[in-house]
Amino acid sequence: MTAFFMPTKEKKLSSALIHWYNKSARDLPWRRTIDPYLIWISEIILQQTTVDQGLPYYTRFVDRFPDIQALAQAKPDTVMKLWEGLGYYSRARNLHYTAKYVYSELGGLFPDSYDGLLTLRGIGPYTAAAIASFCYNLPHAVVDGNVLRVITRLYGLQLSIDEKEGKNEVQKRAARLLSFQQPAVFNQAIMELGALVCSYKNPDCSNCPWKKDCKAYGKDEISRLPIRTKKIKKRTRYFHFYIIEYKGQFLVEKRLAKDIWRDLHQFPLLEMAKETFSNEKRPLEWILPKEAIFLSATQGKQTLTHQKIEAKFFHYRVSRKRSQERMFWVQYKSLLGHSWPKLIRNFIEESLLIG
């Protein structure tokens, strides 16, 4: 398909959207470049992350790793520390893996085609379409959460966006709307419309360039669309963390299992059953000497996409060290130099005091 064969209605909608975007777009650093490395970093950060939250991470990341070589040669712990707090940490691991692959196997050059980009770890259809259009101006329509919402409302689609049929229909509609003359601008524009105007809650329909053509608006179905049929089931896990202090040092380990917070750090942990979690402190006898002094107990919690974490932190002081496999001692002043889950970092900042 070429722009010449683009249906008149879609061409009109596309032009109106681009006109709106040229007047209303936010000035964001990744919109001032066509460098695939920088676009890639921004897109990975913005997965599951808002622009307001992701912007400072992007700035710190590219300041530290200005090019593919710098990221490829970085230590894993350094990458994870810069990612700390963003969540979905597999993104950071895939980012680092792909940087090393592109640098060592592809001569530091990203593939310049949609299909080529799809071969890289951590890059799926959305990210490949974004890089292909933003960097190489290739006509591939992006479909992220914003686009799913915008297209569903525009056409009044009664299909669930959780299901394959619904996603495929949105992809087809987005491709029909895509400006083949300005694919990069159009893709930025439709995502921007979803972020600034066609928001999930309280959309600003009065300022939408597609208001007159929006079927959901015309039928007063904005609040009902898009349709979702799958509900995320969250399980609750119960953690007892043991803060073991020796002369201003603390026993720490890295999480290595294929579980939440992989490659981040934690204090020694016992995962509890619900019925035993509420019990008073239960010392780790294999690591705490009998003369250990109990100092305090603190509670915390964190909600993740598929899990809720209920935690207790038991702080002990010991007069001698017991070394354990994969654990190491860290000075108090160096604790925050390591990467932590948000739950534990909050505890360190707010509750961990040395008497």
Query: Which 3-state string (H, E, C) describes 148-205?
Result: HHHHHHHHCCCCECCCHHHHHHHHHHHHHHCCCCCHHHHHHHHHHHHHHCCCCCCCCH
Give the pLDDT score at 324. Answer: 78
Cβ–Cβ under 8 Å, residues 176 and 236: no
Give yes or no for residue 60 having a pLDDT over 70: yes
pLDDT band at 283 (very low <50, low <70, confident <90, very high): low
CA dihedral 86, 88, 91, 92 (to 10 degrees): 50
Is the peptide bond between 226 and the residue preceding it cis, with omega within 30 degrees of 0? yes
Give domain limits for the chain. 3-218, 235-350
Q: pLDDT tens, 106-127?
A: 999 999 999 999 999 999 999 9
CA dihedral 68, 73, 75, 78 (to 10 degrees): -40
Identical fold at 3-218 and 235-350?
no
Share of the chain above pLDDT 70, in %: 95
Q: pLDDT tens, 221-280?
A: 999 999 998 887 889 999 999 999 999 999 999 999 889 999 999 999 999 888 888 766
Which amino acid is it at 228? R
**Residue 249: phi, psi to the nearest 5?**
-110, 155
pTM above 0.85, yes or no: yes
**Ordered DSSP codes for 78-106:** HHHHHHTTS--THHHHHHHHHHHHHHHHS
Assign domain 3-218 to a CATH class. Answer: mainly alpha
Give the pLDDT score at 233. Answer: 85
Q: Which one has a higher pLDDT value, 4 or 280?
A: 280
Number of helices (H) and strands (E) in the chain: give both, helices first. Answer: 14, 7
Any catalytic annotation for residue 325?
no
What is the fold, at CATH topology level, of the domain defined by 235-350?
A: Nucleoside Triphosphate Pyrophosphohydrolase (3.90.79)
Choosing from 10, 43, 275, 280, which is the catalytic residue?
43
Which amino acid is it at 183? P
Residues in the chain: 355
Give the pLDDT score at 280. Answer: 65
Cβ–Cβ under 8 Å, residues 264 and 280: no
Gap between the Cα atoms of 313 and 228, Å rounded: 38
Give the pLDDT score at 288. Answer: 80
Give yes or no for residue 322 having a pLDDT over 80: no
